[in-house]
Chain A
């Protein structure tokens, strides 16, 4: 696919009835979130509501703070010494940054899939079984087996790996590894799944499978995905948020972002004039 074509808004066509939020339940709320890396501000006063049982896409030029904001939603920024997050983020009405909340608990409820597939250097089975095991989701070996198989099946990987569950997960192809990471994530029974450019390292076929998977998962989860691929955002998301230089510029139904963006910057970005 030619680059110009990919970024040309005239090619981003949204099938009728898609790209519109159908859910009304609010899962997460951000209020006046600022993020600083040392003295440098990366996120400036972002407020938004994220709907349950839908896919929300974050788009924006490189370095605008999409990953940074995403990582606020499961307190992943705690692991970066110099990062400082202020403002409030609610998960089901509870402030996840309050001192009573255990960040480990938050991360169990808000799972994450990373840009680069990062399976543990253990067997495929162990990769998926790890989360349920530490969270006590299975009391017997059979239950654990069921969770592992079920998660792999939902990630569309079971058929390919069923015969080699005890071989290392790092021996899979890139696309398989990413699906393994998704299986690992959903095995923990999260409520929200954060995905940071999950298909950027994959070929179109592997990407398409993951997109299908995301579409299926939407029925049960709140999914937030960062992507540089406009087509992808248009295909799979119901809501789209456009970030620019750490500011949330526009946040609407996906159809509206792509078909009639209100802000000049959004328009320029989706038509490929800067990025």
Chain B
């Protein structure tokens, strides 16, 4: 099992600063930027690359 607390460093696409993200993220996952709180999408994992996530749309849900 992966230790949940394991993190790696990636670049926040909004501020350009370095942030810690969980080491076991998947492409397509959304994480919250610890700096701006904005939703970021993981678009690549080797190395971890983040982009601003698309806005939630009205027809999204269960």
Q: Do A and B bind each other?
A: no
